[in-house]
Amino acid sequence: CLKLLWTKKPNSLSLSSLLWEVLLILMLSYFMPCFLGLILYMKVLEIKDKARKLNMEPLRSNLSKYYIMSQLEVCKGKNIFLLSLIFSSPGNRTRRDLIRKTWGNMTSVQGHPILTLFALGMPIMATTQQEIDKESYKNNDIIEGIFLDSAENQTLKIITMTQWAVTFCPNALFILKVDEDMFVNPLSLVNYLLNLKEHLEDIYVGRVIHQDMPNRDPTSQEFVPLIEYPEKYYPDYCSGEAFIMSQDVARMMYIVFKEVPIMVPADVFVGIC
Ligand SMILES: *[C@@H]1O[C@H](CO)[C@@H](O)[C@H](O)[C@H]1NC(C)=O
Ligand SMILES: *[C@@H]1O[C@H](CO)[C@@H](O)[C@H](O)[C@H]1NC(C)=O
Ligand SMILES: *[C@@H]1O[C@H](CO)[C@@H](O)[C@H](O)[C@H]1NC(C)=O
Ligand SMILES: *[C@@H]1O[C@H](CO)[C@@H](O)[C@H](O)[C@H]1NC(C)=O
């Protein structure tokens, strides 16, 4: 978004804009590690300010527009240390059950509460939906957004689930987005986060992808048109299989969603933010 916000500014060739540009390049190269610490820059401050004042009440009152299942109560009044949102396909119940029995089973690590939920979109078939209804009734751990759960809709899925997290789990300190085929060790993860004592804000960590290029092959399913994303490289981003962001980053991300091209792959999308 930094780049994006930058290019939206009028291109006057004044000294100050040149200075800004140099500063921006310096900052971009300095912050290359995945702590996309959504930097000083005035626009960012503005976003931070908006994020602090974010009002999710309107969303709460028309919830049924966005979610089929929203687990309103799971976070209420609790101070969650780590919220894990496992991105799962509607039809993959066996995978979910496996996670429930293994690493998803933990509710706290060293006294730090953790909460594990499954993030789904809608299935194509109504019978699958009935199965999910039963599964959700039994486990109370499914969030289902109102959109078709397809490969093309994964960015929409991230948006919908981030929206859920900032709306219904504002007390969760950290949010882990992880795919259902990953195995997470909550113990070491929580320990890692506890050791980040100095920066409990502005956290966005994961495996860094460096200098990835947009797919410009129009026949490909992952094609990204120049209009959507004109730069040669993507900014560094965290691989989408698993990454962690702090609550404040999630809120900022939610604010800037509308300003980022939505056609890029989902994990890149988060990285651009
Ligand atoms: C949500 O509901 C409120 C009324 O509580 C309404 O004013 C608002 O337009 C609705 N927003 C959306 C996005 O539907
Ligand atoms: C999970 O769902 C995806 C997409 O529907 C499918 O390709 C994959 O085979 C499923 N995995 C399992 C273990 O069911
Ligand atoms: C974890 O799994 C065991 C069975 O393997 C079960 O008895 C226990 O209740 C589970 N814990 C939680 C918190 O769900
Ligand atoms: C994405 O979800 C929307 C809303 O359900 C749906 O209309 C659309 O067809 C989906 N897109 C794809 C490519 O699956």
Question: Could you list the residue range(s) of the whole structural domain that residue 51 is in?
Answer: 2-272
Share of the chain above pLDDT 90, in %: 29
Please return the burial class of 76, using the count of CB atoms within 10 Å of its CB with bins 0-12, 13-18 and 19+.
exposed
Q: 268: number of CA atoms within 13 Å, CB side? A: 20
Most confident of 46-55, 109-118, 220-229, 239-248: 109-118
* pLDDT at residue 28, rounded to an integer: 60
The encoded tokens of residue 182 equal 């990953």
Reading the block at residue 239, the tokens are: 């691989």
Residue 179 — φ and ψ, nearest 5°?
Answer: -80, 155
Q: pLDDT (tens digit, 9 = 90+) per residue, 125-168?
A: 999 999 999 999 999 999 999 999 998 888 889 889 999 999 99
Mutation test of ligand 3: which of 98, 101, 105 has the most ligand atoms closer than 8 Å to its C-beta?
A: 105
Q: Ligand 2, from 87, 92, 124, 179: best to mutate by most atoms within 8 Å of Cβ?
A: 92
Confidence of residue 193 (pLDDT cuts 50, 70, 90): confident
Overall number of domains in the chain: 1
With a cut of 50, say whether residue 7 has pLDDT above it.
Answer: no
Give the pTM: 0.73
State if residue 150 touches ligand 4 by the CB under 6 angstroms criterion. Answer: yes
Any ligand 2 atom below 6 A from CB of 92: yes
Ligand 2 contacts CB of residue 89 (under 6 A): yes
Beta bridge partners of 82: 114, 174
| d(CA 67, ligand 1 centre) in Å | 15
Whether 30 has a pLDDT exceeding 90, the answer reads no
